[in-house]
Structure 1
Amino acid sequence: MDPLRPRCEHPVRAPEADRIVRSARTGPDGSVSLSRFRTWFAGRVRERKARVTRAPLDALSGWAADPETGDIGHASGGFFTVCGLDAHHPQGPTERWSQPIIEQPEIGILGILAKEFDGVLHLLMQAKTEPGNVDGAQLSPTVQATRSNYTGVHRGKAVPYLEYFLDPPAERIIADSLQSEQGSWFLRKHNRNMVVEAPDEPVPVLEDFCWLTPGQVYELLGEDDVVNMDARTVLSCLPLGAGGDPDRGARHSMTEVLSRITEARARTGMSAARLPLASVERWHRTDSGAIRHESGRFFSVIGVDVATSGREVRQWSQPMIEPCGPGLAALAVKDIGDTPHALLRLRAEPGFREGVELGPTLQCTPENYRDGVLSPPRFLDRVAAAEPGRIRFDAVQSEEGGRFYHARTRNVVLDAAVLDAPDDDPDYLWLSYPQISCLLDHSHYLNVQARSLVACLGTALLP
């Protein structure tokens, strides 16, 4: 086997997957009942409310535009830069375009700490407020930190529980992989997604943290704007359905799956190069000091001033991306034989390191197609018209609130029969759940929208 390709048989992972499934099915009460959790969480939302006010990009404290390129960066040289991107996609609906994009070359840590209580696995979740969140605090991983955060560039407090994730013993690692972020808004950004089991000694629980079972977290995933994007991407990496031979009962073998992904990366022709922000075409400054596309579609780059409590830093300013409307991501599922499968699409985005990753069956911002100028993507009308009885999961969930302002996506899992979905379209792949879990052991195979929906598939484990 090619050493650069994933090894997808995990005999040692099967017990881990069984333990997670068993913990997910233990019912609604863990060491803390869901009713007690809701009381605690409501208190965190009240106490950790952020005050976020819009501000012109050229008036943000600590941020400035480079006089030559127009790129917007922080005075420390850390955090991130808003620059321009020249994108070329010969096979795409638009062959060439330029746009603003966030460049953040450092790798952050998204880590969830796990521990057994009375034989049931629990996950240490954090109530964390982000400036882009609609309703304040959401459940985030134990550690959600950029390298600038945890190395102290912001001169704030130390990141709690970071020590469990910096050099964990191999036998305590449940999941560990580099995963991409939004490829249309980030330039080659990825984070380390980790689940690490705590040692036997007690773990102190700080006031913004709470132990929940996987089943409790999966139940909360079904509620709007509760479990944040960073928690969802880490949850997707849990070894659910892993172990044994992933080809058993699958529509395609893993060899075929990997070959299809490789072939798509070779033929897509997607290229992207950094461009001075001042040189992007059809994007202009507004009267309010933001940057917006002349059509009003896609997104805007805005500035915000933030004041909050419970964070490493209490007050700061920053640029953010504000989408033109809510997103829609849908995953079609069906049984092939006796094996559940999901339909994923080979998707090119300019910010991906590998050019192409597997995305959901449908991924779009419907508002971009309201005026009829752009052709709507395949399946948009069918997903929008799907009857409730055909929908297995439906919740509005927030995107990453540290960089995106009020960015929300309706995440839907629905029966494939609604879409009349293809079995042999070269842009789509039917993958069994063990195959998806196998790919998520490795880096840059599923995009963040697909990973959010994979996390939501965990609700199928509930009794």
Structure 2
Amino acid sequence: MKMAFKNMASSSELNLGWSVKQLLDWREVESNRSRLQVQEIKLSQSGEWQLDSTCSISHHSQRYFRMVGMNYFDIPRKQRLTQPMIDQPEVGMLCFLVSRQFGGWKILLQAKAEPGNVNGVQFAPSIQATCSNYQRVHQGEPVPYLDYALKSDFRLYDQLQSEQNSRFLCKRNCNRVVKVSETFPTADSAYQWVPLNQLFPVLAQSHVINTDARSVLACWLLSNPDILSKSKLRQGELQLLNSLVADRPLHDLGDLQHWLDSLNAKWKLDRQQIPITELGGSWNWDDGNLTSHNHAFSVRQIAVQCQTRENPAWDQPIIAANKPTNLTTVVSMINGSLHLLLQARLEAGNRDGFELTTTIQAESIEAQSVEESKYAENLPSVTTSLLRFANSEEGGRFDQCISEYEILWAEANDVLESPFHRWVSLSQISGWLKKTNFITNELRSTLSALLAIEFSDA
């Protein structure tokens, strides 16, 4: 089936209240108000972090997270590697407050400053906080609206989901959406109620909506077609909604589960924690700073000042990137239903075996698997680009770690499956979003961007 597409971000003015420009102007105001300053320091200059008895970098409270060393077998590159990883066993809270009003859904958006964000401030969930933060280990101000997230019984979505498995060790966040009866006035200008459907075009913008917000939006809206259907959808978006409820997959769910079970039976995670000062290989340790000419990232200690955070000054370790990650997803219409060519991937930080991610997920050409390299070579001649955007990932733990996302359209017969790739229908993905540890954080960000594309018959 031939399709026509429209990138909704090309329209600057939207129906009702907010325009894209107004949202970006609000973010700029909050960025200036935050007075965010980040300075690189040495670990020995930190008043809060130290190299502990396990040779990990840890906080003096033994909360937040640790930076540890990891030795593991990398399946795509088929070799043993060492790298630093974030060990954060606490479950973070990512929660949107929403309200069903006359005229549609409204969502409480937060303009949140993070030290590693491109642009400083990005739009975040209403509540975005680690357990240590909302329990006020830092002795700072309370997290606004936390009681709604923790105590409300009106949960429209509630599931644990993984973070970036290449950087976090078995880390999960609670992705939650809570319905409130009315859109109450906000006491801080960093919070605004925005019509839900007017947020969709912004999902096509680079460095505007953070990865945590994208994750919650994708989980909630794409796992619950009824909610999406009650938003004011454009005609072209109805094709996306139809695919969510369609039951015409190329592979039935049992076959896909057998595929994943077979991969999990064949490949097991082989990883061991090691002292972070003894990573070896090309890693160099310099008073808490770790660099490597063979890896796309490094670790450094930073001191942060931010006037709009619960604690206006702190320091922390952070992972910094020196090259972008390629996150490319191929989509097609099969049996009248939207399908995505997904990759099953087992990374060093995975908790429960393989998870499904984008068609290509690689920090560099060298990091691509053999199958990914073949796709990267052949896709330009058989695909059409639907959407490109960039995102700086998890600015609280990553510094300028940019992912370059692209969604490509192809005829399914022109792009073949591989041992690690399968065509999966959007309705099947919808079902998996209701479960934990099936869909990677990177794929959830991609799925959120589908809401910014209008699909229609050509």
- TM-score category, normalised to shorter length: 0.7 to 0.9
Matched, 1:77 2:75: no
| Conservation of the 8 A alpha-carbon contact between 2:76 and 2:369 | no
Aligned twin of 1:93: 77
* TM-aligned CA distance change 1:428 to 1:233, over 3 Å: same
Matched, 1:120 2:80: no
Aligned twin of 1:339: 337
Distance across 2 between alignment mates of 1:386 and 1:309 = 46
After TM superposition, give the deviation of residue 319 of structure 1 in Å.
0.5
* TM-aligned CA distance change 1:203 to 1:110, over 3 Å: same
* TM-aligned CA distance change 1:150 to 1:388, over 3 Å: farther
After TM superposition, give the deviation of residue 326 of structure 1 in Å.
0.9
| Conservation of the 8 A alpha-carbon contact between 1:114 and 1:195 | yes
Matched, 1:213 2:198: no
Letter in 2 for 1:392: L
Secondary structure, counterpart of 2:308 in structure 1? coil
Letter in 2 for 1:178: L
* TM-aligned CA distance change 1:57 to 1:387, over 3 Å: farther
After TM superposition, give the deviation of residue 110 of structure 1 in Å.
0.5
* TM-aligned CA distance change 1:393 to 1:442, over 3 Å: same
Secondary structure, counterpart of 2:221 in structure 1? coil
Letter in 2 for 1:79: Y
| Conservation of the 8 A alpha-carbon contact between 2:116 and 2:400 | yes
Distance across 1 between alignment mates of 2:414 and 2:197 = 32
Residues 309-353 of structure 1, C-alpha deviations (whole Å, 9 max, x = no match): 110110111100112311110110000121110111000101010
Aligned twin of 1:257: 256
Distance across 1 between alignment mates of 2:374 and 2:54 = 38
After TM superposition, give the deviation of residue 210 of structure 1 in Å.
1.3
Paired residue for 1:56, among 15, 37, 42? 42
Aligned twin of 2:326: 328
| Conservation of the 8 A alpha-carbon contact between 2:358 and 2:443 | yes
Paired residue for 1:433, among 416, 426, 432? 426
| Conservation of the 8 A alpha-carbon contact between 1:31 and 1:117 | no
* TM-aligned CA distance change 1:101 to 1:121, over 3 Å: same
Q: Percent same amino acid at aligned positions?
A: 30
Aligned twin of 1:187: 169
Aligned twin of 2:415: 421
After TM superposition, give the deviation of residue 74 of structure 1 in Å.
0.5
Secondary structure, counterpart of 1:178 in structure 2? strand
Letter in 2 for 1:60: S
Paired residue for 1:443, among 436, 439, 448? 436
Letter in 1 for 2:302: V
Aligned twin of 2:453: 460
| Conservation of the 8 A alpha-carbon contact between 2:134 and 2:142 | yes
| Conservation of the 8 A alpha-carbon contact between 1:49 and 1:136 | no
Which structure 1 segments of 5+ residues have no match? 1-26
| Conservation of the 8 A alpha-carbon contact between 1:179 and 1:443 | yes
Distance across 2 between alignment mates of 1:136 and 1:159 = 19
Letter in 2 for 1:305: A
- Which moves more between the two structures, 262-271 or 91-100? 91-100
Aligned twin of 2:269: 270
Secondary structure, counterpart of 1:153 in structure 2? coil
Distance across 1 between alignment mates of 2:138 and 2:188 = 22
Letter in 2 for 1:42: E
Distance across 2 between alignment mates of 1:351 and 1:382 = 25
Report the TM-score, using the length of structure 2 for normalisation.
0.86
Residues 290-310 of structure 1, C-alpha deviations (whole Å, 9 max, x = no match): 1122x3423111111111111
Paired residue for 2:406, among 400, 409, 412? 412
After TM superposition, give the deviation of residue 430 of structure 1 in Å.
1.1
Distance across 2 between alignment mates of 1:285 and 1:226 = 34
| Conservation of the 8 A alpha-carbon contact between 1:123 and 1:212 | yes
Paired residue for 1:40, among 26, 29, 32? 26
* TM-aligned CA distance change 1:57 to 1:329, over 3 Å: same
Paired residue for 2:149, among 165, 173, 193? 165
CA RMSD of aligned residues (A): 2.7
Letter in 2 for 1:291: L
- Which moves more between the two structures, 374-383 or 301-310? 374-383
After TM superposition, give the deviation of residue 98 of structure 1 in Å.
2.1
* TM-aligned CA distance change 1:380 to 1:225, over 3 Å: farther
Which structure 2 segments of 5+ residues have no match? 1-12, 227-243
Secondary structure, counterpart of 1:77 in structure 2? coil
Aligned twin of 2:7: none
- Which moves more between the two structures, 374-383 or 263-272? 374-383
Distance across 2 between alignment mates of 1:403 and 1:359 = 21
* TM-aligned CA distance change 1:203 to 1:260, over 3 Å: farther
Distance across 2 between alignment mates of 1:375 and 1:417 = 23
After TM superposition, give the deviation of residue 82 of structure 1 in Å.
0.5
Letter in 2 for 1:438: G
| Conservation of the 8 A alpha-carbon contact between 2:383 and 2:409 | no
